[in-house]
């Protein structure tokens, strides 16, 4: 009887451990601002739960936001928090207004994030940033981040696939189909995967930001490659 009691305790502990391991990470939507801010809006997801995993994912999200709010050379970023970046953005704007008092062009920055897709082993997050610092047109940029759900480690694009060259051929065919009216010419030796690849309900999302496909393509190109076309090359499955 004593031995059976020990087995029962072990079985319950194992079940509890497995449940903890399999639970999905939880995200909350947060708004970040400062008291003196009036031109920057930041709405992003924040992970709550396992501290080690959450710190890694939240840190990578924060890096993207800080970079989006930075004015000038990205290699010269000094800000260590989103709030500090907002304050610096506002400070740059105030300096601009003092230097050019006749300029009526307001500055603005909007950054929004969302969890695109989550499976038992991967999370895909999209961050959309728009900034206008007085030019005729603002700058729109979209970033995808993929994370290993068990470690919180950011997954580089090349680590998403077991055969990158095969995936390039598939993506190229879908790109041509989705841009057939745009007269985009792609040389085999020049074609490359985009910086932004993510998971979604409709398949693997391929997104080329402005000028990423070719110097003359001044628009964002986005399309989905269905899972049944690419599943065999995915290191992280879609379920």
Q: What is the pLDDT of residue 72?
A: 87
pLDDT exceeds 60 at position 2: no
**Residue 49: pLDDT band by 50, 70, 90 thresholds?**
confident
CA distance 236 to 239: 9
CA angle 22, 26, 27 (to 5 degrees): 150
Confidence (pLDDT) at 218: 77
Q: What tens digit of pLDDT does each residue of 152-164 get?
A: 999 999 999 999 9
DSSP class per residue in 34-80 = -TT-SSEEEEEEEEES-HHHHHHHHHHHHHHHHHHH--S-GGG----
Q: Which of 14-18, 135-139, 178-182, 228-232 has the highest mean pLDDT?
A: 228-232
Q: Averaged over 211-233, what is the pLDDT?
A: 89
Closest among 73, 76, 69, 74 to 91, alpha carbons compared: 69
pLDDT at position 9 is 39
Q: Where in the chain is the domain with CATH 3.30.565.40?
A: 26-155
pTM of the model: 0.85
- Output the pLDDT for position 180: 72
Contact (Cβ atoms closer than 8 angstroms) between residue 25 and residue 149:
yes
pLDDT recorded at residue 21 = 47
Model confidence at 217, in pLDDT bands (50, 70, 90)?
A: confident
Is-contact 202 224, C-beta < 8 A?
A: yes
According to the model, what pLDDT value does residue 189 have?
65
Reported confidence tier of residue 182, pLDDT bands at 50, 70, 90:
low
Domain 26-155: what homologous superfamily?
Answer: Fervidobacterium nodosum Rt17-B1 like (3.30.565.40)
Task: From the options 3.40.50.2300, 3.40.50.1000, 2.40.40.20, 3.90.640.20, give the CATH code of 159-239.
Answer: 3.90.640.20
Burial class (CB in 10 A: 0-12, 13-18, 19+), 208: buried
Give residue 7's region: left, alpha or beta (phi > 0; psi -120 to 50).
alpha
CA 68 to chain centre: 12
> How confident is the prediction for the chain on average, in pLDDT?
86
Query: Phi and psi for 41 in degrees, rounded to 5?
Result: -125, 120
CA 104/CA 143 separation, integer angstroms: 30
- pLDDT tens-digit series, residues 124-154: 999 999 999 877 788 899 999 999 999 999 9
The boundaries of every CATH 3.90.640.20 domain in the chain are: 159-239
At 175, give phi and psi (nearest 5°).
-65, -45
Assigned token pair, 132? 């206008």
pLDDT higher for 3 or 68?
Answer: 68
pLDDT at 4 over 60: no
Evaluate if residue 16 carries a pLDDT over 60. Answer: no
- pLDDT tens digits, one per residue of 73-109: 888 999 999 999 999 999 999 998 898 888 878 899 9
Answer with the residue of higher pLDDT: 20 or 223: 223
């Amino acid at each position: 009887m004593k031995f059976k009691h020990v087995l029962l305790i072990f079985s319950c502990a194992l079940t509890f451990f497995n449940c903890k391991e399999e639970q999905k990470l939880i995200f909350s939507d947060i708004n970040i601002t400062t008291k003196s801010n009036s031109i920057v809006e930041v709405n992003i997801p924040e992970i709550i739960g396992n501290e080690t995993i959450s710190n890694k994912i939240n840190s990578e999200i924060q890096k993207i936001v800080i970079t989006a709010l930075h004015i000038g050379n990205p290699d010269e970023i000094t800000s260590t928090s989103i709030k500090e970046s907002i304050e610096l953005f506002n400070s740059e704007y105030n300096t601009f207004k003092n230097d050019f008092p006749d300029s009526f062009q307001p500055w603005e920055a909007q950054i929004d994030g969302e969890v695109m897709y989550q499976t038992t082993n991967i999370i895909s997050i999209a961050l959309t940033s728009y900034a206008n610092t007085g030019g005729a047109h603002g700058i729109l940029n979209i970033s995808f981040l993929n994370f290993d759900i068990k470690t919180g480690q950011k997954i580089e694009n090349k680590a998403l696939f077991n055969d990158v060259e095969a995936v390039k051929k598939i993506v190229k065919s879908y790109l041509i189909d989705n841009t057939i009216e745009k007269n985009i010419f792609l040389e085999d030796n020049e074609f490359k995967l985009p910086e932004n690849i993510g998971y979604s309900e409709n398949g693997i999302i391929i997104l080329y930001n402005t000028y990423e496909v070719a110097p003359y393509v001044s628009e964002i190109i986005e399309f989905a490659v269905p899972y049944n076309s690419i599943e065999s090359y995915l290191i992280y499955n879609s379920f």
